[in-house]
Amino acid sequence: MTIHPVIRLNVLARDVDNARQIVDAAEGRVLIGIMVKGYPSAEAAAETIRAYQRANIPVSVGLGAGDPSQWRKVAETAVLTKPDHVNQVFPAAGFTLGALQAVDSRHTLVNALIAPSGTPGKVIVSTGPLSGQAQDLVSCDAAAAMLAEIGVHSVKFYPVCGTEKLEEVKMMAKAAVRYGIPVFEPTGGIDEKSIRPIVETCLEQGVKEVIPHVYTSIVDKETGLTRLDQVEDLLAALPAV
Residue in 155, 226, 239 with CA at minimum distance from that of residue 198: 239
When the pLDDT of each residue in the chain is averaged and rounded to a whole number, the result is 96
The predicted structure's pLDDT at residue 1: 55
3-state secondary structure 24-80: HHCCCCEEEEEEHHHCCCHHHHHHHHHHHHHCCCCEEEECCCCCHHHHHHHHHHHHH
Calculated CA dihedral for residues 74, 75, 76, 78, nearest 10 degrees: 80
- Classify 35 in phi/psi space as left (phi over 0), alpha (psi -120 to 50) or beta: beta
Q: Are strands 109-116 and 122-124 parallel, antiparallel or unpaired?
A: antiparallel
The pTM of the full predicted model, rounded to 2 decimals, is: 0.97
Residue 125 has pLDDT above 90, yes or no: yes
pLDDT band, residue 2 (cuts 50/70/90): low
